[in-house]
Structure 1
């Protein structure tokens, strides 16, 4: 299969799989599953970064210091971007927690549409990252795609719940999430066109991808896991983090590295 074929297959199949699983969970509103899925996503993201992307970046690297600096800069950039989004959100709502959390069913779908547009942009970025990973190495593309899918599932569950809470029907919520998932394909195609003829940019794209995945896992997902501190829940979190890492390691080995 061609590189472009792998990219499109990963985007389409991955998007369909993550939305199908997320819909199955969200429509049954089994909130207790979300923490487990988030734990698995943490392991998959960190596994992909430290077992595949970073080793690939530093393999035969003539400028390891510059690559490490780009990783650090990427983490700081994502911190600043998230701060800017949080500032804009609180400024828009006047910092009122009740307006942030309590108005969903009475906002005529406004919060739901905000989620759709935000998720579309996020999916577009994921598509560019997937394209860059496959252009660097097919095996790297596969593991990166799996890590992104693992992260997308709990995020999609949250998106579904917000859409339902915002007044959308289950059918419309599903269609809107399917529509936003198409942004992954658009981002992948654009990333492929841009990077195919400029392969010198691929390492920089991978470094930013690694920074993004580290930041999402450590700054966004792990703090949420700490909200459930009982021993049984902690044990389940550790188990599924290890399963996430293990699944990436297994793909790494099966792909023949």
Structure 2
């Protein structure tokens, strides 16, 4: 009886009309400008017909604790602020400690499969979690949800996505200008290292060859009187050293955006925060390894390169604290009274609500513009490239599939 009643489209329209009438009558004593979106939703939840829908939903789809939700509840047991800091610790610590296991001569271009996996995770998190959450909100297991359509709200959310995207465009462009346009380090989150690494390697080899030829000439003419010692350090081209330090600055800045992403996600919902942490974690491993290799080629010792990476991890915590501050003081925190927070340009959005669209825009840039060019690079051996391409696509599908499975579960 209940299923037949709730499956009728005409009945659904009558339900909606009846609930809206109920909410209107319940709020008859309040002026429209005094009602916030959350208050309107609360009035709708008190509608008898919606209460019947809620009972039907709980009866037909009881809440179950999946394995992933149990794991997430252990990893993130606190408030949004605490969970954001825990997530930042998770994505900053282990990837940096893994650098101790990396050989100093690792080639960043060999990380293409791992990069492809990270791209699938980032795009999957953006398309399966962030964008639906931004425009529709998150479903609740115990009651039906309503999407309140406001004039210009979706436009502002789209604007936030565009601002995040072009913020990374500006950062990448600035870095290319500073480095003279030679490869540009293509370092929006540290994946596209191929061109910059080639340039650095070429410069270093040229410097080594010229130094070696000079030593040979000195040895042949007897001007040095002895063979070069093993402790003599290789000369590193100044532009290569500059590239290493600029890489650290870019890494620090991009880690700030990671912190912003984590804080905005946890304030949106625990599920979105947890899945974003997983995506950023998968993304950080090739990021850190690629940066580590670039620093080694810039003249850093292994210990100094690891130390520099730990210093840049401070940027992630800085971004997290900024995000928490925006959420708490930008209208999403607990208010001292029940008055609705003032919205942006006449909408119900607060500045804290704009962090999640900004995050989605940055993830779109990282997953497409910053990385896809590296995956499109091909060599002359067609057989090798075909196998490499298939492997990369499988890695992308695996990364996206993990995000889809977590969301579905």
Give your verdict on TM over 0.5: yes
1:141-182 per-residue CA deviation (whole Å, 9 max, x = no partner) reads 111122222222222122111111122111111111112112
Question: Which structure is higher in RCO with an 8 Å CA cutoff and minimum separation 6?
Answer: 1
1:83-126 per-residue CA deviation (whole Å, 9 max, x = no partner) reads 23322321699xxx999534453338433222222211211221
| Structure 1 runs of 4+ with >4 Å offset | 30-33, 97-100
Partner of 2:225: none
* Conserved? CA contact 1:109–1:166, under 8 Å: yes
Partner of 2:390: 235
Give the direction of change, closer, same or farther, for the CA distance of 1:225–1:138 in structure 2 (3 Å limit). Answer: same
Give the direction of change, closer, same or farther, for the CA distance of 1:7–1:73 in structure 2 (3 Å limit). Answer: closer
Q: What TM-score does the superposition give when structure 2 sets the normalisation length?
A: 0.56
Q: Tell me the secondary structure at the aligned position of residue 220 of structure 1.
A: coil
Between 1:178-187 and 1:111-120, the stretch displaced more is 111-120
Structure 2: give runs of 5+ residues left out of the alignment.
Answer: 1-77, 137-146, 184-195, 205-235, 333-349, 380-384
CA distance in 1, matches of 2:389, 2:109: 13
Partner of 2:180: 90
Between 1:136-145 and 1:72-81, the stretch displaced more is 72-81
Match of 1:10 among 84, 87, 107: 87
Partner of 1:222: 372
| Displacement of 1:33 | 4.3
Between 1:191-200 and 1:104-113, the stretch displaced more is 104-113
Pair 1:204-2:354 in alignment: yes
How do 1:1-257 residues align onto structure 2 when only pairs under 5 Å count?
1-22=78-99, 24-25=101-102, 27=104, 29=106, 31=108, 33-59=110-136, 60=147, 62=150, 63-90=153-180, 101=200, 102-103=202-203, 105-107=236-238, 109-198=241-330, 199=332, 200-228=350-378, 230-254=385-409
* Conserved? CA contact 1:18–1:156, under 8 Å: yes
| Displacement of 1:56 | 0.4
Partner of 2:143: none
CA distance in 2, matches of 1:92, 1:227: 17
* Conserved? CA contact 2:326–2:351, under 8 Å: no
Structure 1: give runs of 5+ residues left out of the alignment.
Answer: none
CA distance in 2, matches of 1:127, 1:77: 15
Q: What TM-score does the superposition give when structure 1 sets the normalisation length?
A: 0.86
What value does the CA root-mean-square deviation take over the aligned residues?
2.7
Between 1:117-126 and 1:235-244, the stretch displaced more is 117-126
* Conserved? CA contact 1:26–1:160, under 8 Å: no
Name the larger-Rg structure.
2
Could you say which structure has the higher helix fraction?
Answer: 1
Give the direction of change, closer, same or farther, for the CA distance of 1:26–1:193 in structure 2 (3 Å limit). Answer: farther
Give the direction of change, closer, same or farther, for the CA distance of 1:160–1:40 in structure 2 (3 Å limit). Answer: same
CA distance in 1, matches of 2:181, 2:388: 35
